[in-house]
Structure 1
């Protein structure tokens, strides 16, 4: 276990007789690094295995089969995609799933016609795994429930009412599976070969499960150094996102993290990003607001979600990817290895 990123017995921490030192450990991690690992989290092992095993089989398919699972409209957050580095070497492949399959399903679930446009570009489901849609829904629901309970724990350690954080039942979620391949190229230190650049998630909380052969996920300490997040198959990683930092007026630190290459071994992670409902405007809550004002501006969940694709493509899109998106056709990046 990392001294910076504790392993927390979630059931014990939420119990009426939770040990004071356990709660102090949670608070310290939430206020300093923004990452905890939780065990005894209540998610059945078969829910995690049903999702991860299904996507492992998908990501192990031959490339020509996976190419058929790319978004038919070039949407970067639907279906299978991969990205190479500037030399064409494969750094990461990813499978993205929206909360609802399409705009009709979103409206049927109660979203407004405007909000349902977020799902105009449909999910892509692998025909090789007919049970994966149901497995994914169970996974999303279970991980969103973990996020609610961790929020309750964070309220407890900060001595505010459990209902302080207005996450609600109609949460907005996105789900992603990341597959990090072998990286057998010589001469790359952690800082020289990052498979996923340093960032903090734009969620309230992100709940993640990781598996593989090396601890490539790293959290950023307050002093700027890095600490690895050990792989524990019974643990879920919970990252504080920037929306929770906003709600707490900076009291809870965003969990900045990155992924480094693992050489001749591989790693996979599956994450659910949990946000409040799309009509929420996030700003410092009364329990944390400074009467002298705040450095945090209000954030519209809807405006951020609806502009997410264009912002991503503006920052990271390559010319051929931008062309595919504008022309409403699939995009599959070329790789050399």
Structure 2
């Protein structure tokens, strides 16, 4: 399978199709995740115009001078703004590179209350989101991200049901472990060369890596310095782009869970070429894990192919995040 042959899965057919249609979709998912770890997904139900509204609000924040963003600097293990030089993602593969060429704004659920699978205080203005401190301008950023996070949470659980069907497991095989899940919604801002300066040798917008959790849902923009994915057949290739589709890939926890039946999707974002000095992109990345103390154990044969040692979800993901953080 090459990047150009990734299947597009229409989730509306999963919701409304007959048994045979759903089985065909599940089989397509199984094959794609086995060979590349990536899918394109349409019929996802994200409100039209929401990603564009988020990008417009976030761009107002990112375009501010550094001094205006420093009050929102994420501390170790926390959420908020991270500026240039914060991560070198290729370190997850043992690759020594200069820091990644991006800035980020990350949010996560606040502490869950005792009676519901919602962050305590979650409401229409997103009061259940971390970080606790948000910029006063743009005011729209917080409620927009709260709405997007709710859409992503519902979508991620639906995708996990489809993945369970692809493995011929009960539909709640994964979602029984997402009652109060860990997740992170991150805005990746890739500034233009005219803003960030020329890339250093070996520098990426995001270095080569696989994600760490169960699934990742990506709303991205195409560009000369855009997403590339790696397959055994095609090597590194530009990821296919469909403005109506979201890009979905599985991470290390899901690969371990399936006993390496499915491949953790390897990808990178190269630095923009010299002939695109003004290219500025922004990606909306939703990293979905599971309940933090879930013990992830490999499915046995004939589904699984490799038996990994059990890991605890949150501990595993945090150990991998620590590998890419720069002092």
TM-score (structure 1 length as normaliser): 0.75
Q: Deviations over 1:236-261 (max 9, x none)?
A: 11110111111111111111111112
Gaps of 5+ in 2: 89-95, 117-127
2:153 is aligned, of 125, 144, 150, to: 144
- Measure, in 2, the Cα distance between the counterparts of 1:109 and 1:210: 35
2:108 is aligned, of 98, 104, 107, to: 98
Matched residue SS, 2:83? strand
- Report 1:128-277 matches (<5 A): 128-165=137-174, 166-183=176-193, 192-211=202-221, 213-214=223-224, 216-223=226-233, 225-263=235-273, 264=277, 265-277=279-291
1:295 is aligned, of 290, 307, 310, to: 307
Gaps of 5+ in 1: 101-105, 112-118, 319-337
Residue 67 of structure 2 is matched in structure 1 by: 64
Q: Is 1:10 matched with 2:11?
A: yes
Q: Deviations over 1:20-75 (max 9, x none)?
A: 7655433321111111111111111244334333212211223332233213xx33
- Measure, in 1, the Cα distance between the counterparts of 2:97 and 2:3: 34
Matched residue SS, 2:269? strand
Aligned length: 296
From the superposition, tell whether residues 87 and 39 of structure 1 become closer, same or farther in structure 2 (CA, over 3 Å): closer
- Measure, in 2, the Cα distance between the counterparts of 1:250 and 1:2: 20
From the superposition, tell whether residues 33 and 308 of structure 1 become closer, same or farther in structure 2 (CA, over 3 Å): closer
- Measure, in 1, the Cα distance between the counterparts of 2:100 and 2:320: 24
From the superposition, tell whether residues 62 and 110 of structure 1 become closer, same or farther in structure 2 (CA, over 3 Å): farther
Contact 1:70 1:124 in 2 (8 A): no
Deviation (angstroms), 1:4: 3.5
RMSD in angstroms over aligned alpha carbons?
3.4
TM-score (structure 2 length as normaliser): 0.77
Residue 124 of structure 1 is matched in structure 2 by: 133
Q: Is 1:41 matched with 2:40?
A: no
Matched residue SS, 2:162? helix
Contact 1:167 1:276 in 2 (8 A): yes
1:278 is aligned, of 277, 283, 292, to: 292
- Measure, in 2, the Cα distance between the counterparts of 1:299 and 1:202: 12
From the superposition, tell whether residues 25 and 307 of structure 1 become closer, same or farther in structure 2 (CA, over 3 Å): closer
Contact 1:215 1:231 in 2 (8 A): no
- Measure, in 1, the Cα distance between the counterparts of 2:251 and 2:100: 28
Q: Deviations over 1:149-174 (max 9, x none)?
A: 22222233333322222433322111
Deviation (angstroms), 1:307: 5.1
